[in-house]
Structure 1
Amino acid sequence: MKISVTHKDAMKFEAKTEKSSFIIDCPTISPIEYFLSGIITCSATDIVMIPKNQGKTVTDLVVDGEVERAEDHPRKFTKLHLTYNFNSDADDDTQAARWVMASVETYCSTINTIRDTTEISYSITHNGKLIRENEKMISGGGSKIDMGDIDACCS
């Protein structure tokens, strides 16, 4: 994977990937908000694709993310809670929960990139029923590694 970011003007940057490009407009949307959006979107795509590969369909998917960050710079994520809300034709709630667990534990590379330094939990509402609440990620769980201070973009 390769991405190039070019300063345009003021606090606007253009990110070019191998397939597309988009504008990052700080501080309208900060890089950390893009980062969290990427984490959520990574997992959301799993929640659509895993069932599809099993001949099942997910509809009305909404994934909310809430983070707590360290007070000191570089203000890394210390806690991440993801809330999954969706309908599906899963055989049962256990199958639906397994889709989320597969994403969180195995397939979502963005979540797995931060799991060693971030305590991660999730809740799942499937077909209008809360089936998991504040479940902790099985692996990872955060650690207290100090990477030191850095100058950073606005957050």
Structure 2
Amino acid sequence: MKASLKWDGHLGFEAVGESGRPIVTDASVAAGGRGLGPSPMELVLFGLGGCMGIDVVSILQKARVELTTFTMELEGERAPEHPRGFTKIKIRLHLEGKGLNETVINRAINLSMEKYCSVRSSLKAEVETEYTFVEL
């Protein structure tokens, strides 16, 4: 896997990966950037959520769950000193669909976190998950 980044002359970069789709990342205005895109640490949370989300949807589909709504909220706590990496991340999943139950949801989450999510395996942070669901 490869990626390239081009500096914008300030504190931002345009990044392009193998998908060919660019994304802009920037520092916040408070940190001296222009706030034109997500910060690199926000991108880490997006990556974790996206990775886990893909896994959970795939696992639930294989379990014949008819998912209609799926949202996630991620909240990361960072170390107080540099390099200020994430020390703890909490993921809240909200699911609606036909065929949902605690057993199938727990299985999907556990398989993602323990086996499939490569972003999770790349992080040192403690990751907690919780969920709510509506079975239709």
TM range (shorter): 0.7 to 0.9
Q: CA RMSD in A?
A: 1.7
What is the match of residue 8 of structure 1? 8
Offset at residue 91 of structure 1 (A)? 5.7
Which 4+ residue blocks in structure 1 deviate beyond 3 angstroms? none
Offset at residue 12 of structure 1 (A)? 2.7
What is the match of residue 31 of structure 2? none
What is the match of residue 61 of structure 2? 52
Offset at residue 78 of structure 1 (A)? 0.7
What is the match of residue 22 of structure 1? 22
Contact 1:4 1:17 in 2 (8 A): yes
What is the match of residue 87 of structure 1? 96
Q: Provide TM-score, normalisation by structure 1.
A: 0.74
What is the match of residue 107 of structure 1? 116
Give 3-state SS (helix, strand or coil) of 1:127's partner: strand
Distance 2:111 2:97 in 1: 16
Match of 1:69 among 39, 61, 78: 78
Q: Provide TM-score, normalisation by structure 2.
A: 0.83
Distance 1:76 1:102 in 2: 25
Match of 2:132 among 125, 134, 139: 125
Contact 1:39 1:110 in 2 (8 A): yes
Q: How many pairs are equivalent?
A: 126
In structure 1, stretches of 5+ residues that fail to align are 129-155
Offset at residue 100 of structure 1 (A)? 1.3
Offset at residue 93 of structure 1 (A)? 2.1
Give 3-state SS (helix, strand or coil) of 1:120's partner: strand
After TM superposition, the structure 1 stretch with the greater mean CA deviation from structure 2, 82-91 or 32-41, is: 82-91
Distance 1:55 1:6, change over 3 A: same
Give 3-state SS (helix, strand or coil) of 1:71's partner: coil
Distance 1:10 1:91 in 2: 47
Identity of aligned residues (%): 29
Distance 2:10 2:95 in 1: 40
What is the match of residue 132 of structure 1? none
